[in-house]
Structure formats: structure tokens, C-alpha cells
């Protein structure tokens, strides 16, 4: 348990899935998912987001088998009614995600976000947003967490108010990594595909 207080809870579970299972899920998702690039406006130009992405509604009929299997295992283990999966493919060390928190309107309160890691180990940085406390006297908190294949990271809803998380680029020669982010999204967003 990395954090468990009024700022929420962050729980890292290495080897949630055995190495052979994690390897099988990685290969299947890498090959079967229709990965796409996303464009984002940066200053005055559109740039590619530095990773490939895909998203699924878990109730959808077209789920890749490996995703259905992994999601079911996570739903059962966490007793959380996840209904959406956001997938990220980091092709190498140059792919990344900038520090951010999940938008609170896109997730239902009281439910955690679950991040399953597959493939190469990548470091996640988790930083508290402010030093907090009276006159900012409390220490700013930061964690560097190496997310191993088969691991599961659970971040409670509240942590999205208090912490940013990101996957920085690395110069190290790393292979591809896939993360599967499971969320409980509000019904309205699910219906509108928002
Ligand atoms: O790849 C990861 O582990 C982090 C993904 C993430 O932060 C996101 O999908 O919002």
C-alpha cells in the first residue's frame, strides 16, 4: 500500500497475473487490438500523442478475448463494476504519458481505477499536487513505481484530486508495454460514447 489516508488509497499488487498469463495477454492484445494514434493540439499545431491507444466498453460484444478474460479477473478480484477499458501501447522508451489525473466527471465516485501492466516494465511517477497542509508545511509526496508485467495498480477516486500520475520517457532500451486502465464511467458517458 503506497497511500492510505484522507488523500485516498494507492495499492500496488505485483504478480496479480502470473508471468505466462501476462505474456499471453500482452501478445494477444498487441496483435489483435486496432491501435490508433491520437492527435492533440499543442500551442499552434496538432501533434501525435506519444503512444497508441484503444478503448472498449466492457459490455460490448467485440471485446478481444484476452481483454474480456483480464477484465473479468480484475472485476472479480476487486469487486468493482468496471464498464470501460482504456488501453495504451508504449512502443518504446520514447512513448510516454504526461503527468495528469483522471477527469472526475469521467469516473464514478467511490470506485477505484485499475491499471494492469503487460510487457516491458516502465516507471510511473506519482506526485501530490500541492504540498498541502496549513501554510503548505506538509511535505510534497512523490513515488516512483516500476510497474511490472502482470501487476495491478489500484488508485481510489479521491487520489485523482490529490495526485498526478504519468509515465515519463526513458533513454533505456525498453521493449513495448501495454497498460489496460479499467474505469467505472457514468452511464451517460457510456451511452453517448463520450
Ligand atoms: O500506462 C499507464 O500505466 C498509465 C495510463 C494512464 O495514466 C491513463 O490511461 O490515464
**88 touches ligand 1 (CB under 6 Å):** yes
Distance from the alpha carbon of residue 81 to the mean position of ligand 1, in angstroms:
19
The three cell numbers locating residue 32:
489483435
Reported residue count of the chain is 194
Computed on alpha carbons and rounded to an integer, the radius of gyration of the chain in Å comes to 17
**126 touches ligand 1 (CB under 6 Å):** no
Strand partners, 165: 100, 126
Q: What is the pLDDT of residue 61?
A: 80
Q: Which atom of ligand 1 is nearest to the CA of 117?
A: 3
How far apart CA 127 and CA 82 sit, in angstroms, is 25
Distance from the alpha carbon of residue 142 to the mean position of ligand 1, in angstroms:
17
Considering only CA atoms, which of 55, 114, 110 is closest in space to residue 88? 55
Identify the residue whose C-alpha is closest to ligand 1 atom 10. Answer: 102
Distance from the alpha carbon of residue 134 to the mean position of ligand 1, in angstroms:
31
Identify the residue whose C-alpha is closest to ligand 1 atom 8. Answer: 181
pLDDT per residue rounded down to tens, the chain (194 residues): 899 999 999 999 999 999 999 999 999 999 999 999 998 888 888 988 999 999 999 997 889 999 999 999 999 999 999 999 999 999 999 999 999 999 999 999 999 999 999 999 999 999 999 755 555 556 789 999 999 999 999 999 999 999 999 999 999 999 999 999 999 999 887 665 55
Q: What is the pLDDT of residue 136?
A: 52
Domains in the chain: boundaries: 12-37+47-117+166-175+182-194
**179 touches ligand 1 (CB under 6 Å):** yes
Q: What is the pLDDT of residue 191?
A: 64
Whole-prediction pTM: 0.93
Considering only CA atoms, which of 111, 147, 128, 178 is closest in space to residue 12? 147
**180 touches ligand 1 (CB under 6 Å):** no
CATH domain 12-37+47-117+166-175+182-194 topology: Jelly Rolls (2.60.120)
Amino acid at each position: 500500500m503506497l497511500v492510505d489516508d484522507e488523500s485516498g488509497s494507492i495499492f500496488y499488487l505485483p504478480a496479480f497475473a502470473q508471468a505466462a498469463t501476462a505474456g499471453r495477454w500482452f501478445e494477444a492484445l498487441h496483435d489483435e487490438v486496432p491501435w490508433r494514434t491520437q492527435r492533440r493540439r499543442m500551442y499552434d499545431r496538432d501533434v501525435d500523442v506519444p503512444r497508441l491507444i484503444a478503448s472498449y466498453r466492457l459490455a460490448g460484444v467485440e471485446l478481444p478475448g484476452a481483454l474480456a478474460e483480464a477484465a473479468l479477473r480484475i472485476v472479480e478480484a476487486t469487486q468493482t463494476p468496471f464498464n470501460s477499458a482504456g488501453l495504451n501501447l508504449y512502443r518504446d522508451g520514447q512513448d510516454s504519458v504526461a503527468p495528469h489525473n483522471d477527469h472526475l466527471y469521467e469516473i464514478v465516485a467511490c470506485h477505484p481505477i485499475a491499471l494492469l501492466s503487460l510487457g516491458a516494465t516502465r516507471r510511473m511517477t506519482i506526485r501530490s499536487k500541492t504540498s498541502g497542509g496549513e501554510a503548505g508545511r506538509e511535505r510534497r509526496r512523490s513515488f516512483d513505481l516500476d510497474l511490472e508485467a502482470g501487476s495491478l495498480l489500484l488508485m481510489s477516486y479521491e487520489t485523482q484530486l490529490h495526485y498526478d500520475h504519468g509515465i515519463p520517457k526513458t533513454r533505456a532500451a525498453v521493449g513495448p508495454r501495454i497498460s489496460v486502465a479499467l474505469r467505472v464511467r457514468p452511464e451517460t458517458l457510456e451511452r453517448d460514447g463520450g
